[in-house]
Amino acid sequence: MSAKVWLVGAGPGDPELLTLKAVRALGEAQVVMIDDLVNPAVLEHCPNARIIPVGKRGGCRSTPQAFIHRLMLRYARQGKCVVRLKGGDPCIFGRGGEEAEWLSARGIEVELVNGITAGLAGATQSGISLTQRGVARGVTLVTAHTQDDSSPEWQALAKSGTTLVVYMGVSKLEQVQAGLLEGGLSADTPVAMIENASLPQQRECRSSLADMYRDALTFKLKSPAILVIGEVAARSSDGAFSRADHHRNSKLARTPDGLVRMMSNYAASIDEIN
Ligand code: SAH
């Protein structure tokens, strides 16, 4: 395969949530450029590829986007099969669209591969159905963190009548809360804050719009986390979903030593971010 870049979603963390197509792309890859939020355990699918970490967090110096672009272009022009592996879905707050356009404009073939985005996975792993007949007729994915530091239209979102799933919201909890209250969303609207969704160290803090900031402080909520705001967030997670899944995660303990090491490094690096 020549001059091709796959922009691949690695899902939220649980390696079992990788798609079969992502596994195939990794199997064909000669170069894999990996973001920080990707669980390194998925690299078992590309044992022969050159791995290049290009993350922007985790205490490392950030890799400028322009450099990532040029690196992808260089390897693709060498005729290498390149996989750009991103956390969650490449096109949900993942710059997948931007990178695809940039590469296509330079004549590089690009293929996008969906991943399960953290917001959807986090809710499901916590037993929350983001849409539910008679309770929520839609869902809005929104980031609390914009490049120009402007605020999302919280007041308009408060009136949307959909479940809100907020990404990158941990450092903006007060603004999210204030904006939605000002927009008229009821103070007792349920809120679920889900940290490290789908990983063995997943934690959930259940609260309400009135108390979310205070409760998150007490809980010591850390990034990466998503916020689910709406009636469906009151649904209990004491069902079998999350526990069954965490149990499956323990299978990682049976993977080769190296991977277990990578997993512990991963957990450590997530801690460092916070
Ligand atoms: N493309 C990614 C999102 C990248 S933006 C996706 O589709 O999931 C980074 C944000 O995603 C984090 O700040 C956090 O809000 C969310 N996130 C990513 N992984 C997460 C996880 N395992 N648990 C909770 N939130 C996560």
Flag whether 39 is in a domain: yes
Q: How many domains does the chain have?
A: 2
Residue of 19, 146, 4 whose CA lies nearest to 83: 4
**Is there a domain that residue 273 lies in?**
no
The verdict on 59 and 159 lying in the same domain is no
**What angle is formed at CA 60 by the lines to CA 56 and CA 66, rounded to 5 degrees?**
40
Same structural domain, 135 and 183? yes
Beta carbon of 232 within 6 Å of any ligand 1 atom: no
Residue pair 189/163 in contact by the 8 Å Cβ criterion: no
Tokens of 80: 């290498």
pLDDT tens for the chain, residues 1 to 274: 456 999 999 999 999 999 999 999 999 999 999 999 999 999 999 999 999 999 865 444 667 889 999 999 999 999 999 999 999 999 999 999 999 999 999 999 999 999 999 999 999 999 999 999 999 999 999 999 887 888 899 999 999 999 999 999 999 999 999 999 999 999 999 999 999 999 999 999 999 999 999 999 999 999 999 999 999 999 865 543 443 344 344 444 334 444 444 444 444 444 443 3
Q: Which residues pair with 131 in a beta bridge?
A: none
**Residue 154: phi, psi to the nearest 5?**
-60, -35
**CATH number, domain with residue 22:** 3.40.1010.10
- Measured in Å, residue 88 CA sits from the centre of ligand 1 at 7
- 261, part of any domain: no
- Residues 44, 239: Cα–Cα separation, whole Å: 31
* C-alpha torsion sign, points 56, 62, 65, 71: negative
How far does residue 43's CA lie from ligand 1's centre (Å)? Answer: 19
Q: What CATH code is carried by the domain that includes residue 228?
A: 3.30.950.10
Shared domain for 223 and 153, answered yes or no, is yes
CA 29/CA 85 separation, integer angstroms: 11
Shared-domain flag, residues 89 and 73? yes
What domain range is 69 assigned to? 4-116
Q: From the CB of 118, is ligand 1 less than 6 Å away?
A: yes
The reply to whether 163 falls in a domain is yes
Global pTM reads 0.86
Residue 99 and residue 168 in one domain: no
Distances (CA, A) of 19 to 8, 9, 12, 44, 114: 10, 8, 12, 14, 8
